[in-house]
Amino acid sequence: MMICFQKQINIFDSAHNEYLQYLFTHGIIGPNFIYSALVAVISRGFRAGINMVKDNKKSAVLLGLSFSVFSYVIQAIVNINIPIVAVFFFMFIMLPMHCQRSKK
- pLDDT above 60 for 28: yes
> What integer is the mean pLDDT of 4-14?
67
Cα torsion through 84, 62, 100, 85, rounded to 10: 0
Residue type, 40: A
The conformational region for residue 75 under phi > 0 = left, psi -120 to 50 = alpha, else beta, is alpha
Q: Mind listing the pLDDT tens digit for each residue in 52-93?
A: 665 577 777 778 888 888 888 898 888 877 778 878 888 888
> What integer is the mean pLDDT of 36-59?
75
Cα–Cα nearest to 76, from 2, 25, 16, 10:
16
CA–CA distance, 64 with 79 (Å, rounded to integer):
22
- pLDDT above 60 for 94: yes
pTM, two decimals, is 0.69
- pLDDT above 80 for 98: no
